[in-house]
């Protein structure tokens, strides 16, 4: 039992150990690395760009980006590598395939539908509701009760 417990927590303890800092390869600047890391999100932390994430894992991933740049990889190849390793959620801009197209199509479509609805509503309100509605509406039939009441009021005024 104790052996299982020790083996279960051994990788976590080893991962927290301090590794010697990697030597910075010549030729690739921090700005080049951060330009690519800015377009990637940390797979461990939620919604944190890779260029500003303080975790040790992100520092290792930035070193990996530096190494890949030294090896001649392009930005697109590095982004594809990270997407294959950690999924599309690490990309700042989702790829335009599958249901991800909805992210690019729905917002402009919803905006256009909203503009159309506002236009139609304003156009309907702009019509003169008083003149056209009274001309087209039939005259109401005279109510005998109202006529009798008016007669009674006139008769009382004369007295």
Q: Give the pLDDT confidence of 23-67 residue by residue, as tens digits.
A: 444 577 888 888 888 888 887 777 788 888 888 888 888 898 899
Min mean pLDDT across 25-29, 92-96, 104-108, 149-153 is at: 25-29
Q: 96 vs 107, which has greater pLDDT?
A: 107
The verdict on residue 12 lying in a domain is no
Q: Which residues pair with 51 in a beta bridge?
A: none
One domain, residues 58 and 42? yes
One domain, residues 79 and 26? yes
Structure tokens at 23: 């030597």
Is the per-residue pLDDT at 135 higher than 70?
no
Q: What percent of the chain has pLDDT over 70?
A: 75
The verdict on residue 11 lying in a domain is no
One domain, residues 76 and 88? yes
User: What range does the domain containing 107 cover?
Assistant: 95-123
The verdict on residue 36 lying in a domain is yes
Structure tokens at 150: 């008016």
Residue 20: the pLDDT is 44
- Which residues lie closer than 8 Å to 4 by C-beta, 6 or more apart? none
One domain, residues 56 and 110? no
Give the highest mean pLDDT range of 56-60, 103-107, 108-112, 135-139.
Answer: 108-112
- Which residues lie closer than 8 Å to 43 by C-beta, 6 or more apart? 57, 86, 87, 89, 90
One domain, residues 51 and 71? yes
One domain, residues 74 and 42? yes
Residue 3: the pLDDT is 35
C-alpha 61/C-alpha 76 separation (Å) is: 16
Min mean pLDDT across 19-28, 37-46, 75-84, 149-158 is at: 19-28
One domain, residues 108 and 48? no
One domain, residues 100 and 85? no
One domain, residues 79 and 113? no
Residue 87 vs residues 27, 44, 53, 83, 102: alpha-carbon distances, Å: 29, 12, 18, 5, 18
């Amino acid at each position: 039992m104790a052996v299982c417990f020790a083996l279960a927590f051994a990788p976590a303890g080893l991962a927290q150990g301090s590794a010697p800092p990697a030597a910075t390869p010549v030729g690739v600047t921090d700005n080049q690395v951060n330009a690519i890391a800015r377009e990637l999100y940390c797979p461990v932390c939620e919604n944190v760009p890779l260029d500003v994430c303080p975790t040790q894992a992100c520092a290792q991933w930035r070193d990996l980006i530096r190494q890949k740049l030294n090896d001649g990889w392009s930005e697109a190849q590095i982004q594809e590598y990270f997407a294959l390793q950690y999924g599309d959620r690490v990309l700042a801009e989702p790829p335009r395939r599958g249901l991800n197209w909805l992210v690019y199509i729905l917002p402009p479509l919803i905006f256009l539908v909203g503009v159309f609805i506002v236009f139609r509503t304003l156009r309907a309100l702009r019509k003169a509701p008083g003149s056209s509605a009274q001309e087209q509406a039939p005259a109401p039939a005279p109510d005998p009760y109202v006529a009798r009441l008016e007669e009674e009021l006139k008769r009382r005024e004369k007295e």
